[in-house]
Structure 1
Amino acid sequence: MVENKTEIVICLGSSCFARGNKSILPIIQKYLKDNGLEEKVSFNGNHCYSECINGPNVKINGKLYNNINEEKIVQVLNKVFKDNY
């Protein structure tokens, strides 16, 4: 984690991006803004996790989440932030 912030890193590799992370990116941004979490989170992109077959992938605090979709990312974020804040 960076500076005691929750770290979210979304895979921006071509496979993950084409398989759904293109639509996941604005969902995460909106979630962070709507919940006042922008200052508590380091949110970045990464080129590839070499897990393309299991993508789209998002890593949160070092844990890789596979097969992310629009519904699943909100569930994951709710759990992460319920546990941390």
Structure 2
Amino acid sequence: METKHEIVICLGSSCFSRGNKDVLEIVKEFLNEHDLAAEVFFHGDLCGGKCENGPVLQIDDQTFSKVTVDNVYEVLNDYFEVEQEK
């Protein structure tokens, strides 16, 4: 099955120290809970140079800044609701 979406989480030291390890776990949980794991290529990447806006999460061609455990679920839910309506 070919994936339809890509989620990239920054694993650079700045984003990682700001909590991206916990954000990573929440993204995995979200994908499993919503049966999206097979449709989404989720992976980490090295620093993209946006440290001042970190933690950074990219979904397809959209970049989300200052993503935390407090707002990542909302970011994912809002994004995938929009995508499902298309």
| Alignment TM-score > 0.5, same fold | yes
2:31, 2:37 within 8 Å by CA — same for their partners in 1? yes
Q: Please, which runs of 5 or more residues in structure 1 have no aligned partner? A: none
What's the RMSD between the two structures over aligned residues?
1.1
User: What does residue 74 of structure 2 align with?
Assistant: 75
Structure 2 residue 11 is the aligned partner of structure 1 residue 12: yes
Q: For the residues of structure 2 that align with 1:14 and 1:48, how far apart are their CA atoms?
A: 8
User: What does residue 52 of structure 1 align with?
Assistant: 51
Quote the offset at 1:20 in angstroms: 1.1
User: What does residue 42 of structure 2 align with?
Assistant: 43
Quote the offset at 1:71 in angstroms: 2.2
Q: Which runs of 4+ in 1 moved over 3 A?
A: none
Calculate the TM-score normalised by the size of structure 1.
Answer: 0.91
Alignment: residue pair count: 83
User: What does residue 32 of structure 1 align with?
Assistant: 31
2:11, 2:45 within 8 Å by CA — same for their partners in 1? yes
- Would the alpha carbon gap of residues 31 and 56 (structure 1) be closer, same or farther in structure 2, given more than 3 Å must change? same
Calculate the TM-score normalised by the size of structure 2.
Answer: 0.90
